[in-house]
Structure 1
Amino acid sequence: MQAIKHSPATHTQADINLELLPETQRSLISSLLANAAQAKPQQANELLWKAVKEMSRTAVLSALRGEEQRLCHSIEELRSQLKTLAGKVKKHQKQSTTEN
């Protein structure tokens, strides 16, 4: 697996596993980091900041996708519980009308 350990100069200590990113983001971040390694200090700093911003954006999007999946799962669970409760209510209503 290709992982990049960021130095303190990138303003983050995070390990980023590029293989987990979509191809376009992986390519963008890889090229930004490669270019930064060969650039003059000022340009390198700008390129590193762009890479960090892209990684942050990617992390936020990934978190949102995870939250969306969690919410969809919760909605499905609630629908199932609602169907169960509706069935119990109908059964109880039938029993109430037959007893009267």
Structure 2
Amino acid sequence: MKNFFTKTNMLFLSLSLVSAISQAQELDLETPVKSITDQIKAIFPYIAGAVFLVVVLVNLGHFVKEGGDWKKGLTNIVVYVIVVGLVAGLFQYITSVQL
């Protein structure tokens, strides 16, 4: 049985590996990622605003009904604003990091 790890097979394998690595570096993944982040940056305020309206409408009962709990309704809205701020800040940080 012939040994696979001969000198010519190892040379061919190493050249193939070097070729594959050099081709992988030319993929230019920066352009599609930048396009996606630009789209997210454009859409995010509208989505956050729509969800904010839903949060306010869901918590509207805490403000208008008899014996409503103002503190609970206001707390829910403030928690939403804090979460949106954290998500936006995290996204801003991730997009600013250069690899």
Q: TM-score normalised to the size of structure 1?
A: 0.42
Structure holding more strand per residue: 1
**Larger gyration radius, structure 1 or structure 2:** 2
Q: TM-score normalised to the size of structure 2?
A: 0.43
